[in-house]
Amino acid sequence: MTFPPLRDELRGIEPYGAPQLPIDVVPVQLNVNENPYGPSAACIADIAASAAEAAATLNRYPDREFVALREALASYLTRDAVSRLAGARTSTTESSIAPEQVWAANGSNEVMLQLLQAFGGPGRTAVSFAPTYSMYPEYARDTNTRWVAGHRAEDFSLDLDAARDLVKTEQPSVILLPSPNNPTGTALPPEAVGVLCEAAGDEGIVVVDEAYGEFRRSGVPSALELLPSYRNLVVTRTMSKAFAGAGLRLGYLAAAPEICDAIRVVRLPYHLSAVTQAVALAALRHAPELLGKVDELRAERDALVDWLRAEAYDVADSDANFVLFGRFADRHAVWQGLLDRGVLIRETGPDGWLRVSVGTPDEMAAFRAALTDVDGERA
Ligand code: PMP
């Protein structure tokens, strides 16, 4: 037996994670889809005061049910769902989300791991469609859930008939559907979620991972609207991306109360620290400000797609705050060339493609200049 006595299937596996390099060494960091804009002085002051208040009670365990935070997230999601329904097809009551329908954890990664802990496990199957977020098979591996990856079409969209057939054949207890997808940026068409919720039935939950949901282009609906129609639907969100709170580690979901109650069985007690709860509540009070750059980032994203296409790159349509582009015979050389010029992007996705996050106008100018320089020899 080799030491340490690690599970056989974990031997030799590298921990997941993009390279983290100091900002003074690599000034333009466009590799992990963060929001480039930090909080204002007023927001920082509110967060600091809230953390100080929480600090005064650190000898006690935090509220295990994080009631105040669930209420604040529910009201944020209700406002988000209602404000997007410009045509008022759905009444406010139908689209309102109650605190019992909300769950949260340390990042949406932990939320989804908890979903697999509760709904996956030995003898059960989880399904997604590749190329997709690389953590999904890790949640499955870590919970001893069988992993099955269907495939996306050439343009990274879902072939709905094939997807439905796969669900019928594999009968997964968890289906992971990112919308927009990482690393391709592809959003799901409105009918996809309903079709797959019906195909899964009561034996499976359909998790629509909307980590990048706030960046979707206008006219693309959120799966939140479908919650009243499908009790097996779960919509996950995060404060890491549009909300400019990647350092906060707060992800959450909206689903039927029975689903939230099931997660309570597997969560560790007091998993959300008093500091996390206080800081997340403070950040939610500043939601309009923290989300205030989303429109600018979407415009910057669209301009980036146009520029890359004008430069004759292949570019996937994007509803997120990043863009997948290619194709390169040696993508690693391009990635390295950009890094040598102080621009860090991500070597991920199908072979030949690279992913770049949308930053400030200055950062995007630096990226464009570096790419032009590196790839100047391209035929
Ligand atoms: N889902 C997708 C599709 C992601 O890309 C990410 C982060 N890269 C996450 C979930 C997890 O984000 P977090 O844990 O920060 O909420």
The ipTM of this complex is: 0.99
The atom of ligand 1 lying closest to the CA of 250 is 16
C-beta 240 within 6 A of ligand 1: yes
Quote the ligand 1 centre to 238 CA distance (angstroms). 7
Of 274, 363, 367, 255, residue with least CA distance to 52: 274
**pLDDT of 79:** 87
pLDDT per residue as tens digits for the range 185-223: 999 998 999 999 999 999 999 999 999 999 999 888 999
Quote the ligand 1 centre to 109 CA distance (angstroms). 6
Cα 238–215–251 angle (5° rounding)?
Answer: 0
- Rounded Cα distance, 178 and 126, in Å: 14
DSSP secondary structure letters along 206-263:
EEEE-TTGGGPPTT---GGGGTTT-TTEEEEEESSSTTS-TTT--EEEE--HHHHHHH
Across the beta sheet with 322-326, the strand order is 314-315, 322-326, 354-357
- Rounded Cα distance, 307 and 46, in Å: 39
Quote the ligand 1 centre to 131 CA distance (angstroms). 15
- Rounded Cα distance, 308 and 294, in Å: 21
Other C-beta atoms closer than 10 Å to the C-beta of 158 total 22
**pLDDT of 18:** 84
Quote the ligand 1 centre to 232 CA distance (angstroms). 21
Is CATH 3.40.50.300 what the domain over 43-287 is classified as, yes or no?
Answer: no
CA-nearest residue, atom 8 of ligand 1: 32
Going by pLDDT thresholds of 50, 70 and 90, the confidence category of residue 176 is very high
Cα 279–283–287 angle (5° rounding)?
Answer: 165
Quote the ligand 1 centre to 242 CA distance (angstroms). 11
Mean pLDDT of the region 359-377: 94
Going by pLDDT thresholds of 50, 70 and 90, the confidence category of residue 362 is very high
Q: What is the mean pLDDT of the chain?
A: 95
C-beta 109 within 6 A of ligand 1: yes
C-beta 131 within 6 A of ligand 1: no
Mean pLDDT of the region 254-269: 98
- Rounded Cα distance, 13 and 34, in Å: 26
- Rounded Cα distance, 331 and 246, in Å: 27
C-beta 251 within 6 A of ligand 1: yes
Q: What pTM did the predictor assign?
A: 0.96
Of 348, 15, 314, 47, residue with least CA distance to 154: 314
Q: Same fold for the domain at 8-30+293-374 and the one at 43-287?
A: no
Quote the ligand 1 centre to 108 CA distance (angstroms). 6
Q: Are strands 28-29 and 233-238 parallel, antiparallel or unpaired?
A: unpaired
CATH numeric code, 8-30+293-374: 3.90.1150.10
Mean pLDDT of the region 57-82: 94
Check whether 93 has a pLDDT greater than 70: no
The atom of ligand 1 lying closest to the CA of 180 is 3
**Which mutation among 31, 33, 35, 108 tests ligand 1's pocket best, with the greatest number of atoms within 8 A of CB?**
108
Q: Is the bond preceding 189 in cis, omega lying within 30 degrees of 0?
A: no
pLDDT per residue as tens digits for the range 34-50: 999 999 999 999 999 99
Of 345, 286, 276, 356, residue with least CA distance to 315: 356
pLDDT per residue as tens digits for the range 296-342: 999 999 999 999 999 999 999 999 999 999 999 999 999 999 999 99
Q: Which residue ranges make up each domain of the chain?
A: 8-30+293-374, 43-287
For residue 99, which phi and psi values (nearest 5 degrees)? Answer: -55, -30
C-beta 232 within 6 A of ligand 1: no
Quote the ligand 1 centre to 294 CA distance (angstroms). 17
Q: Six-digit token pair at 229?
A: 């129609």
C-beta 107 within 6 A of ligand 1: yes
Quote the ligand 1 centre to 3 CA distance (angstroms). 32
